[in-house]
Structure 1
Amino acid sequence: MAPPEGADAPAAPKADPKPSDPPSESIVASRTNKQPPAETLESLWVRRWVILSFWAVVACLGLPMWWKTTAIYRADLPLQDMTDWADGKICRPVFPLRIAVEASPQVQDAHRLIRTTQHALDDLNEFSAHHLRLILADLPLPANASQQAIIDGTSSTGDDQDIALSVRLIPVETGETPRSHLQPYAPTLDVYYSPNQIPSASSTASPLATFVAHELHKIFADEQARLSYLLSASSSGHATKWKALSAETAAELQRQSTRVLKYAPTYHLTFSLFTPTSVPSAWDIEPALRQYLTPLLESFATISNFTIDTQVQLYATFSPSIRQPEYDEDLKAWTLRKEDLSGFINAAEWPLSPSIGEGPTVNFALYVPEQSQSPLLVKENGASSWLVPQWGGVAILNPTSSAAIPKALAKEALVPAMQTFSNQLISLLGLPQTPASLPLRLSTLTRVRAASLIFSASSTLGALAQVYQKMPSIPVPDSVAKSVDLTLGHLQQACDHFRDGRFQGALEHARIAEAQAEKAFFERSMVGQVYFPDEHKVAVYLPLLGPVAVPLVMAALKEIKSGIATLRRR
């Protein structure tokens, strides 16, 4: 039925668009042309100013603070002087020894005799750095003539401390002449001659002058060999003509140097009594030390000081790493093999601490074997004592009879051990075996020690200069620079004392120089920083600075790229 007239006809239903139908072109165009509003010039510059402000804070505040707080302070060091000392360019080692000649009133012209002897002595000398200067004792000189008088061999002794040896010319009527006698406990050489052996005014040589020259050369031959070996073995490169040493002499000096203790102003001596049983449990060590060892230590007082302590260790068993003693039918004794001597000291159980006292510890162990293993000897040589290089010495005290071992060792029973320990201490300290005079041997040791300390301090300065140049990342505090200055000053004073023949003063200054050089080289702040290289710093800072730096760098690159694009469009 048709709808009534005037009424609206119902709308025809619209077909739903299929989801798969593509959008019309007009809709796509409208969506494509829809862009965000253009950035204003004001907002662009605001963003750029914000980025620039961040970079300004980093560059003007962050980097200076980081540089200041992480900067390494390095004090200025005299590197050239340090290297010159290490290369031996500043101090030429010389050892002028003054020998005073005491002539009797019967000698009419003592000056001619001394000059003749000096010429003969110079002809025998093969070591130019070690020069023996003869002077006439008890002869006053004008003040302006001292230097030339020393050269001519006519000066007086002056200060007795500068005299290395005194030669007394004693005329005799009987006996073989010339002959000499070196006093064992005084730096004095007695030369006996007959009056007809004095050189005449017209002669240029005499048997007496030749004899004295040969005796002096023989007395100081060992010292010349030691000094020549020391100078040639040092890496200082001095341009001095060394005395040629035979292969045997060089090998012996090398062997001695391997067992000698490094020099120290103070040594600590530890005397220990070890026994595998409960006896002996005491020993009269204090009176034995006072009688047999204290005089020797007092003679070394000008070179080093000593402190002493003692201890007793009961039930001290052998180290399990060595063979147990074996009975030898030929020696009728219990024996230890030579290869087991190095492990004789049971370091794991015997209380021998190397850090007791101020300086290095020198250990002397006295071992009293039990009755069933006595006597106890070394199988290869039958000795009852041996030296441990750079450590100390060991002595075995075997009971003298089949009686029971006493509970306490008397002073008389310790005499062999004290003599052994004295000889071992002399070897460990590097005291020469010749000549027969103890004061001369001590003065030789003084010169050798002073020279070795100068070379050691100079070498340490050279090593410090190399570390300073090759490791710019380590800090160098002012204390190191102060120690270096003190070292250079005392080295120069030691060298000056050497030239003047004042070897005791040279030893004192060389000792201070060595201590200050070691103090500078082993400064704690420098040594610790060596183990933190630049790679370690990068590994520490990169995780901290990386997250902060990436946004800043990327924003800066974006703005730079945008600016370049804007310039190209224009």
Structure 2
Amino acid sequence: MTTKTGDQESPLASQVDPQTSVSRVPPPETPAAVQTRFRVIAAFWAVIIFLGFPIWWKTTSIYRASLPLEEMVHWADGKTCRPVFPLEIHLSTPSLPYIEAQHLLRTTQHTLDDLNEFAAHHLRLKLANDTTGDHTGQDSSEHVNYAARETPDTALTVRLLPQEGLASPRSELHAATTQLDVFYPPSQIPVSSSSNSPLSTFIAAELQQLYGEEKATIAHILSGDTARLASTSPQLAEDISRRLRRSMKYAETYHLSFSLFTPGAEPSSWDIEAAVNEYVSPLLQALSPISNFTVDTQVQLYANFAPTAPKPEYDESEAVWTLKKEGLSAFVNAAEWPLNPSIGTGPTINFILYVPDPSQSPLVVKENSASSWIVPQWGGVFLLNPPLSNDEQGSRSNPAHLSLGSLGPAFMTFSHQLLTLLGTPSTPASLPLRLQTSIRIRAATLLLSASSTMGSLARLTESLPSIPIPATVATSVSTTLSHLTATCSHLREGRFGAALASARVAETEAERSFFEKSMVGQVYFPDEHKVAVYLPLLGPIGVPLVVGLLRELKRIAAKRKAKAS
């Protein structure tokens, strides 16, 4: 054997196999190692499928309570309930025999039906002493409960009084009650063979005129238009639209804030408690079936106009200081005057009594010499110009205290402004009738508002499948739908007070379900964000597991193929 150093080739190197020096084949895996690798991969995937995936699904799934979407949409589209307003009017005929009274009622009802052009609002006449109905087998207490629960509300009592010497019937509406007196000549009682009479025509025309504004308002609320009512004049339609724009949105509770503002040090006190008790409290008591009210007061001295507000101008011809009508919107200095925009959960209606500086008194509105105006959907302002007194230096000054007598005109105006801001119609002259009209109008408004909210919630649920729907929303929706059904039923049966109570609950629950806080947050976390969160976490783990699984599947497939061949 010879060897060679340097670049000389060694005889041993020439005897080595070239293939063995290039690559070495690893020893074959033992069946135990293959089985171990398979079990490891299977264990990882078993943990993922049977433990990891269920936990992930449970912790990340969105709970969506079942909602009656079709019923909700039907309410919004007006397919479930078409509101009707049957007003029961009692006809009191103390001087007529029952047969003649029945005939007069039938002829008057027939005339009313011919004059009615809005089917949703109709007047139903009934004799005041008609007690038809079989209640045999019931004790007195059961009868009272049944009557209180089922008897429709009486909208108006028409009392027919004969009067000699009249050429034609005349009417007189009581301002403080829901009673209409109709005086008629005894000769105008319709005979049984006639189908009409001047007295029936007169009563029907009076009733149509009495409820003309209410009918037009309800038509405007239900359809958004009063043009299809031929009896509604363009002026009345404009007045209704203007009143609805100025009125506050309905709330279960309103907060009334009465404020005394003056740019000087006087007046510094006022008989506010006596004024509220005399002029405001009786009205609030009458409005209690519609809403609840709280009252707070304040006195603010040295309350100056806003710097950007137009200054009063002196009118030499009238010897008064004036404010231009276009500058009234900037009269309230909201930046410096302590006016609370909202107290508690309900909206605040502000009433400002402003006593001008003696150097700018008397102060009125230039265009109409008015001393008060309404700020739509906010409140009212009254400019009080009390008698001025001369001090020891001879200069004029405001009184230090405002008595109840001096506050009377202002608070009577505030009462009228409150009715306007609450959407109370301007007719008829009877306040109880106007408040009854407000109950029906508010019931219709809340019924449509709650129904519309249900439709919006249904469309939101369908368009955003990723938002959660908690069980509280389903409960509120169920409560809303049940009270909407009750409202519609009460309206159909003429129980408007009960209808308003149900509509208030329906509106409250509908708003609660639509503005559920837990539903809103998920809207801002779409599926794209989830993918962006999961990929960095699962990528490094998932790739080795998937590759290992594919290799095992490939090995098993090759093994089966080898056995088959």
Do they superpose with TM above 0.5? yes
Structure 2 gaps, min length 5: 137-146, 390-395
Supply the distance in 1 between the matched residues of 2:168 and 2:382 (Cα, whole angstroms).
Answer: 45
- Which among 81, 85, 95 is matched to residue 71 of structure 2? 81
Give the superposition deviation at 1:561.
5.2
1:107-256 to 2 correspondences below 5 Å = 107=97, 109-143=100-134, 162-233=153-224, 243-244=229-230, 245=232, 247-256=234-243
Supply the distance in 2 between the matched residues of 1:434 and 1:177 (Cα, whole angstroms).
Answer: 24
Aligned CA distance change for structure 1 residues 13 and 91 (closer, same or farther; 3 Å): closer
Q: Which residue of 2 aligns with 1:320?
A: 307
Spell out, residue by residue over 1:202-253, the C-alpha distance to the aligned partner (whole angstroms, 9 max, x if none). 222211111111111111111110111111029xxxxxx9745555443332
Supply the distance in 2 between the matched residues of 1:274 and 1:142 (Cα, whole angstroms).
Answer: 60
1:409 alignment partner AA = L
Q: State whether residues 433 and 441 of structure 1, in contact with CA within 8 Å, keep that contact through their aligned partners in structure 2.
A: yes
Supply the distance in 1 between the matched residues of 2:15 and 2:466 (Cα, whole angstroms).
Answer: 70
Supply the distance in 1 between the matched residues of 2:547 and 2:233 (Cα, whole angstroms).
Answer: 76
Supply the distance in 2 between the matched residues of 1:17 and 1:568 (Cα, whole angstroms).
Answer: 53
Aligned CA distance change for structure 1 residues 159 and 89 (closer, same or farther; 3 Å): closer
1:348-363 to 2 correspondences below 5 Å = 348-363=335-350
Spell out, residue by residue over 1:114-158, the C-alpha distance to the aligned partner (whole angstroms, 9 max, x if none). 11111111111111111111111213325299xxxxxxxxxx999
- Which among 68, 82, 91 is matched to residue 92 of structure 1? 82
Spell out, residue by residue over 1:402-436, the C-alpha distance to the aligned partner (whole angstroms, 9 max, x if none). 64112222222212211221111111011111111
Supply the distance in 2 between the matched residues of 1:302 and 1:193 (Cα, whole angstroms).
Answer: 35
Supply the distance in 2 between the matched residues of 1:529 and 1:242 (Cα, whole angstroms).
Answer: 45
1:351-500 to 2 correspondences below 5 Å = 351-401=338-388, 403-500=396-493
Worse overlay, 436-445 or 526-535: 526-535
1:190 is paired with a residue of what secondary structure? strand
Supply the distance in 1 between the matched residues of 2:342 and 2:555 (Cα, whole angstroms).
Answer: 72
Supply the distance in 2 between the matched residues of 1:157 and 1:490 (Cα, whole angstroms).
Answer: 19
Supply the distance in 2 between the matched residues of 1:494 and 1:459 (Cα, whole angstroms).
Answer: 15
Aligned CA distance change for structure 1 residues 454 and 24 (closer, same or farther; 3 Å): farther
Give the superposition deviation at 1:94.
1.1
1:173 alignment partner AA = E
Spell out, residue by residue over 1:52-72, the C-alpha distance to the aligned partner (whole angstroms, 9 max, x if none). 221111111100000011122
1:254-293 to 2 correspondences below 5 Å = 254-293=241-280
- Of the two, which has the highest radius of gyration? 1
Spell out, residue by residue over 1:130-189, the C-alpha distance to the aligned partner (whole angstroms, 9 max, x if none). 1111111213325299xxxxxxxxxx9999872111111111112443111111111111
Q: State whether residues 157 and 163 of structure 1, in contact with CA within 8 Å, keep that contact through their aligned partners in structure 2.
A: no
Q: Which residue of 2 aligns with 1:311?
A: 298
Q: State whether residues 100 and 157 of structure 1, in contact with CA within 8 Å, keep that contact through their aligned partners in structure 2.
A: no
Q: Which residue of 2 aligns with 1:237?
A: none
Q: Equivalent pairs: percent with the same residue? A: 55
Structure 1 gaps, min length 5: 1-11, 146-155, 235-240
Give the superposition deviation at 1:438.
1.1
Give the superposition deviation at 1:545.
2.4
Q: State whether residues 376 and 398 of structure 1, in contact with CA within 8 Å, keep that contact through their aligned partners in structure 2.
A: yes
Aligned CA distance change for structure 1 residues 353 and 110 (closer, same or farther; 3 Å): same
Spell out, residue by residue over 1:292-331, the C-alpha distance to the aligned partner (whole angstroms, 9 max, x if none). 1111111111111211000111222222332333334444
2:347 alignment partner AA = P
Q: Which residue of 2 aligns with 1:55?
A: 45
Worse overlay, 406-415 or 322-331: 322-331
Give the superposition deviation at 1:383.
2.5
Supply the distance in 2 between the matched residues of 1:484 and 1:175 (Cα, whole angstroms).
Answer: 60
Q: State whether residues 189 and 197 of structure 2, in contact with CA within 8 Å, keep that contact through their aligned partners in structure 1.
A: yes
Supply the distance in 2 between the matched residues of 1:445 and 1:162 (Cα, whole angstroms).
Answer: 14
1:364 is paired with a residue of what secondary structure? strand
1:496 alignment partner AA = S
CA-based RMSD of the aligned residues comes to 2.9
Q: Which residue of 2 aligns with 1:17?
A: 7
Worse overlay, 382-391 or 222-231: 382-391
Q: Which residue of 2 aligns with 1:519?
A: 512
The two structures have a TM-score, normalised by structure 2, of 0.89
Worse overlay, 107-116 or 278-287: 107-116
Give the superposition deviation at 1:528.
2.6
- Which among 53, 56, 59 is matched to residue 66 of structure 1? 56
Q: Which residue of 2 aligns with 1:153?
A: none
Supply the distance in 1 between the matched residues of 2:151 and 2:483 (Cα, whole angstroms).
Answer: 24
Worse overlay, 539-548 or 176-185: 539-548
Q: State whether residues 487 and 513 of structure 1, in contact with CA within 8 Å, keep that contact through their aligned partners in structure 2.
A: yes
2:125 is paired with a residue of what secondary structure? strand
Worse overlay, 463-472 or 401-410: 401-410
Aligned CA distance change for structure 1 residues 242 and 91 (closer, same or farther; 3 Å): farther
Supply the distance in 2 between the matched residues of 1:160 and 1:43 (Cα, whole angstroms).
Answer: 89
Q: Which residue of 2 aligns with 1:547?
A: 540
Worse overlay, 162-171 or 272-281: 272-281
Q: Which residue of 1 aligns with 2:325?
A: 338
Q: Which residue of 2 aligns with 1:9?
A: none
The two structures have a TM-score, normalised by structure 1, of 0.88
1:165 is paired with a residue of what secondary structure? strand
Count how many residue pairs are aligned between Structure 1 and Structure 2.
541
Aligned CA distance change for structure 1 residues 39 and 64 (closer, same or farther; 3 Å): same
Q: State whether residues 136 and 157 of structure 1, in contact with CA within 8 Å, keep that contact through their aligned partners in structure 2.
A: no
